[in-house]
Amino acid sequence: MWRDHLTEIIVFSLLFLLVSAMGFVAARWRAPRDMAHLDEWGLGGRSFGGWITWFLVGGDLYTAYTFVAVPALIFGAGAAGFFAVPYTIVIYPLVFLVLCRLWSVSHRHGFVTPADFVRNRFDSPILALLVAITGIVATMPYIALQLVGIEAVLKTMGVTGDSALARHLPIIIAFAILAAYTYQSGLRAPALIAFVKDSLIYIVILVAVIYLPYKLGGWGHIFDAADAKFKASPAPGDGILLNANNQLQYVTLAFGSALALFLYPHSITGVLASRNRDVIKRNMSALPAYSLLLGLIALLGYMAIAANVKPLPGAKAGSVDGNTVVPLLFDSQFPDWFAGVAYAAIGIGALVPAAIMSIAAANLFTRNIYKEYLKRDASPAQEANVSKITSLVVKVGAVACIVFLDPQFSIDLQLIGGVIILQTLPAVALGLYTRWFHRNALIAGWVAGMGLGMWMLYQIGNPATGKKHFAGSAFPLSEFGFDTKKTIYVGIVAVLVNLAVAALLTLVLRAAKVADGVDGTTPDDYFADEGDPRVTPGPDRDAESAREPVA
């Protein structure tokens, strides 16, 4: 009952209201010139310095779902859940220079989305549309999953009911508040709140990894308890170490997830809001500190085993909700007031990424669908207004996913989202370094990679849940005729096919001398920095006139 968690509810509510107030105040933070412009509303004036960017991007990538799902995965599946740690380390050296080039060309041309860049680089509205739709589709389940984190906390505190409305009303109220201050303050709201969110998470985790091992008998006992649990499983798989059949899946999932991370529109939004190239370089060097935090968060899964935590019942009869593992661990091992702080860290940890994700999806719709196909002469104020409204629609859609769908389905959708967003890698990431790929070949590669990826995902079932299709991203190599029980991450296979088709078809189209459009960028655009002259991009302008400086 909720009365047994009154102290936790009060602490959680007070901190939640505090950050909500900060969200509304953020509209006046850093003196925006004109909020009726996407540069201000959607990118915070492109003026964030090192500390703000560090908290914003970190708060964007390390979400409430990370806080509850990574330990829950380790609690239920063992060592395979640690894939999230190496991939967040591998990615930063890979994107250290890539993101600087993206920032520079976007600063020079005023790009707001990755699809803006693709439109100008390859002179292809169709390819830009595919990139925009891919980004929106991949982002939607990610937003819904932030609600899963909040719901796990509310369920642990007993703030739920028997009816669908009673069960979801707190989430609806929380996201209504989020929608209101995001509509008013834009990207400034999550940027300001990220300071509180990340500070709370660091405090909670550092206290947990010092206090819990002491209380549970030491790290040796924690790992022994985890090892004993997995060895006693009716169907032994991974334990505290990977088994041989999962090693290829682990490596490809970690690497594929790394490649996908900064292709997500919300990740790029945080980068484009930076003031200059040096801010990005410093952040790519410092952000691995979050990976240390993530490793500590992951260990909570083993601590929950040692603490004999029993997950709460799930939505389906006979199922359990693994996402409640971490909230229950804090509820059972800490004083009520500190558990309330931990719950607030998770809840606020959902608000920051959900806000950025909804803004990023709204910017994609506005710039690459509304302006490109519905109103080509839209003014900056009209663009900002459409983005604000679209961000509300996106949040309503995310809430609908939780209210009307099984949350487990949203988790499966997020796995699919990584496969989907990877198909933009040739156009966005490689496009920053080369114009060699033919625009039509990139479209064909996207179709091939997306088609193969969807087919592979459709073949994946899960006997434990009864799902026959789209039940994960680990594809059995036996389906390709190999005599092995090993699996591989679908996204890696799909993007390799994407690249192969794009490369081969480029050779054919170049030999046939098929027109390839005009590159709207110049080599020096990729090294522009703060203070360099800006140009006015646009689909109706030819490459030469597009380089005229803005007055």
Question: Measured between alpha carbons, how far is 494 from 192 in angstroms, rounded to an integer?
Answer: 38
Sign (positive or negative) of CA dihedral 63, 238, 493, 90: positive
Neighbours of 467 (CB within 10 A): 16
pLDDT by 10s per residue, the chain, length 551:
667 788 998 999 899 889 888 988 887 777 666 778 888 899 988 889 988 998 888 877 877 777 888 888 889 888 888 888 888 888 888 888 899 999 999 999 999 999 999 999 999 999 999 999 999 988 887 887 787 788 888 888 887 766 666 667 777 888 888 888 888 889 988 998 988 888 888 899 999 999 999 999 999 999 999 999 888 766 556 778 888 778 898 999 999 999 998 999 999 999 999 999 999 999 988 888 888 888 888 899 999 999 999 988 776 666 777 888 999 999 999 999 999 999 998 888 888 888 899 999 999 999 999 999 999 999 989 999 999 999 999 888 877 776 776 655 556 666 778 899 999 999 999 999 999 999 999 999 999 999 999 999 988 887 766 677 787 888 998 888 887 888 899 999 999 999 999 999 999 999 999 999 999 999 999 999 888 877 755 444 443 334 333 32
Q: SS3 of 549, please?
A: strand
Question: Measured between alpha carbons, how far is 58 from 367 in angstroms, rounded to an integer?
Answer: 25
Question: Measured between alpha carbons, how far is 80 from 246 in angstroms, rounded to an integer?
Answer: 8
CB-CB contact of 488 with 248 (8 Å): yes
Question: Measured between alpha carbons, how far is 31 from 134 in angstroms, rounded to an integer?
Answer: 34
Strand ranges (E), 156-305? none
Question: Under 8 Å CB-to-CB from 182, ≥6 apart: which residues?
Answer: 23, 189, 190, 355, 358, 359, 391, 395
Give me the phi and psi of 462, to 5 degrees please: -140, 100
In order, the DSSP letters of 178-200 are: HHHHHHHHTTHHHHHHHHHHHHH
Identity at 440, one-letter amino acid code = N
In order, the DSSP letters of 428-490 are: HTGGGT---S-HHHHHHHHHHHHHHHHHHHHH--BTTTTB-SS--SEEEGGGGT-SS--EEEH
Q: Which residue from 269, 230, 270 is spatially nearest to 246, judged by alpha carbons?
A: 230
CB-CB contact of 139 with 360 (8 Å): yes
Neighbours of 406 (CB within 10 A): 16
Determine if the pTM surpasses 0.85: yes
Measure Cα distances from 361 to 3, 133, 141, 266, 449 in Å.
39, 9, 12, 8, 22
Greatest alpha-carbon span in the chain = 74
